Amino acid sequence: MSEIEFEKKLQAHETSIPGLIVYNLPVHGDNRGWFKENWQREKMIAIGLPDFGPVQNNISFNAKRGVTRGIHAEPWDKYISIATGRIFGAWVDLREGDNFGKVFTTELDPSKAIFVPRGVGNAYQALEDNTTYTYMVNDHWSAKAQSKYVFLNLADKTVNIKWPTPLNQAELSDKDKLHPALTDVVPMKPKKTLIIGSKGQLGNALQVEFPDAECVDRDTFDLSDPKILNARNWNQYDLILNAAAYTAVDQAETDEGRINVWQCNAAALINLSVISNSYGVTLVHISTDYVFNGTTLEHSETESFSPINVYGQTKAAGDIAIATATKHYIVRTSWVIGNGNNFVKTMKSLAEKGIKPSVVNDQIGRLTFTTDLARGIKHLINKQANYGIYNLTGDGQNVSWADIAKEVYKLTGYNKNDVTGVSTTQYYTGKIGIAPRPLQSTLILDKIKATGFVPRDWHESLIEYLNKEENSEVL
């Protein structure tokens, strides 16, 4: 006990292994002994400890100096502290990546603790008799979970750990003596990413940016079903990208459509927020300018909801549900164009058929191409930007649908004057079952630009998109 540093300030110290953090713990001593706050969530989160959500606490008693355990990399995070005695601890990064095989060693006594992220191999050797080693983890142990461990031999010559008690004199289990060398270790893969709505235009683009993601769609993954809360081992996921939505704006005004759109765009998202909060999964959700009435020339992330149709109402309600998740990004966009049926393809087809369409000229905004939208989402994740709402569309001049139609005609070699601009009122005259549309859809992009992401000019993206369409038709 004499070696414990009493009354030490709570401090966090990064190590040479990313995510592996050593903590100094205040220990208060007097003639009776000592006391410490071994785990204090609020204080530790404030100085950088991940809010990792422990669910199991374990204690390992080591009767003799020289008892040695490890090296085990587990599929969960771990917070280690010492109750009595001292250890020499060794940690080896066994995750995929450039740091694979990197080693960090230090001594721990009751005045220190260490946070060990998933996939970092953990080992220790008792430096005193009667050493009690405690640790909390954020998943429950099971034989099935143990099958996903990554093991490394304690005596591996590549990592070359300098054990205080030579291993030939230490107490080891037979299993720990038989673990493989580093050259034979299969690194632990990162946690999983799930794309919901993978068959849609954005879902296809997200698969390009997140090629290792699992992909599901509404026909195989019903967000509204409470069973999804236990459908997967969500502890093994760290990112959910929700690109699924009911987007039939006019159909949403019907009795049947109203039921479906509220279920899909609003009620079902409560389940996603529960998963996110329960397992610490980062949640990305796609929102829309339709949550506004379109009377403001440009919309910021802080503007209050004012939807003018059922679809917009459900998307606003969905944003509220998603915002209950601590780790969430709501990416608000508009006028989305990707692989599949969309406005640009329709105009190109009409031009090729010699049709002279009437297109609304009083709805103003900017196109957003799914390739750019997916890149922006990946940027937010990689940058670890602050959670919250981000507007993300194409940049450039604000234009009408008629302006875009004229540009498509021009870029595909047809006469842009074949497009006639009309007001929204004129366009829908005589039509029934039409939902009202916002007239101003331009979103302010300052917030996402401040993170270092520069949205492309929508016109530049349009040219690239049409060139790809032309090349694919030739092929």
Dihedral of the alpha carbons of 372, 378, 381, 383, in degrees to the nearest 10: -80
DSSP state of 463: H
- Is the torsion defined by CA of 393, 394, 399, 403 positive or negative? negative
Catalytic residue, chosen from 23, 72, 311, 390, is 72
CA distance 423 to 426: 5
> Which tokens hold the place of 118?
């998933």
* Cβ atoms of residues 283 and 276 within 8 Å: yes
CA distance 51 to 281: 11
* Cβ atoms of residues 272 and 317 within 8 Å: no
Output the CA–CA distances (angstroms, integers) from residue 164 to 86, 126, 174, 418, in the order listed.
Answer: 12, 9, 20, 84
What values do phi and psi take at 375, rounded to 5? -65, -40
Catalytic residue status for 459: no
DSSP state of 263: I
Q: Which residues are CB-neighbours of 334 under 8 A, at least 6 positions away? A: 288, 289, 290, 365, 366, 368, 393, 441, 442, 443
Question: Among candidates 281, 200, 189, 267, which has minimal Cα distance to 234?
Answer: 281
Question: Among candidates 334, 361, 364, which has minimal Cα distance to 424?
Answer: 361
Give the Cβ contact number of residue 1 at 10 Å.
12
What values do phi and psi take at 415, rounded to 5? -80, 115
Q: Burial code of 181-216, b = ≥16 C-beta within 10 A, e = fewer?
A: ebeebebbeebbbbbbbbbbbbbbbbbebbeebebb
Catalytic residue status for 72: yes
Catalytic residue, chosen from 124, 133, 135, 414, is 135
CA distance 404 to 396: 13
* End-to-end CA separation in angstroms for the chain: 76
Residues annotated catalytic, as ranges: 72, 135
